[in-house]
Amino acid sequence: NFVKINLTRSYSDSCQACAELDHEVDITLQQYQASGLAFYSDSDITYILTADHFCTHHRPQYLLREGDIVDEFTALDHYGEIWNSQVIYSDFGNDLCLIASDMREITGVRVASEMPEIGEKVFVIAAPKGYSDEGMSLHFDGNFSGCDNEGKCYFVMNSYFGSSGGVILNSDGEIVSMIQMADIQLGFITIGPRVSAIRRFLDSASDELDLDLEY
């Protein structure tokens, strides 16, 4: 169910070198990658969880030039297939994002009802620095270390740029959190939301979008 999500930011502009052809060209400005988890399929749509700071990445002012800027999302699955995807709901405050994709139907992944016990083993599949390809995805494990008063939960687990959006699972294979931040200097502290925040996010998405998400 792991996917590597790609964001290509481009804009259309006139082709000055071929103005006589009277057409526009697509110019790629930026490319980003993040991790995600396909957790539910309904009919011909599969839903993916990832981090909102990837979905709604800030556009620097120097990119606001003439022409329409377009963000194109795709999801690369474990089999090397690329699927069209789009952001359908996001929550900046909790850094959560819901993506709809045309990827093949998947076996659903449940969301846990509560956080693991402190010290319990947890697991995640992620693509730090984009390391993921057909038939290859990086598996990590670690330990849950508790949550602070602000709702940030801490895990002793390796993560890096590109790991964002990787969904953390308990030993029963249920969703308990997500990689959203990390202490890069220490290299082994990963930070994400409480599972209750994920459940509230999916409840809100279901209500706002009139979806029947099962989780």
Helix (H, G, I), strand (E, B) or coil at 67: coil
111, 200 Cβ separation under 8 angstroms = no
CA 55 to chain centre: 7
What is the pLDDT, as a whole number, of residue 125?
96
146, 118 Cβ separation under 8 angstroms = yes
The beta strand positions in 43-92, using DSSP E, are 45-50, 69-76, 82-91
What is the pLDDT, as a whole number, of residue 25?
56
CA angle 213, 83, 200 (to 5 degrees): 25
What is the pLDDT, as a whole number, of residue 190?
97
pLDDT tens digits, 166-209: 999 999 999 999 999 998 888 899 999 999 999 999 999 999 99
pLDDT tens digits, 179-189: 999 988 888 99
Nearest Cα to 171, choosing from 132, 146, 144, 199?
144
Burial class (CB in 10 A: 0-12, 13-18, 19+), 28: exposed
> Which residues of the chain fall below pLDDT 50?
none
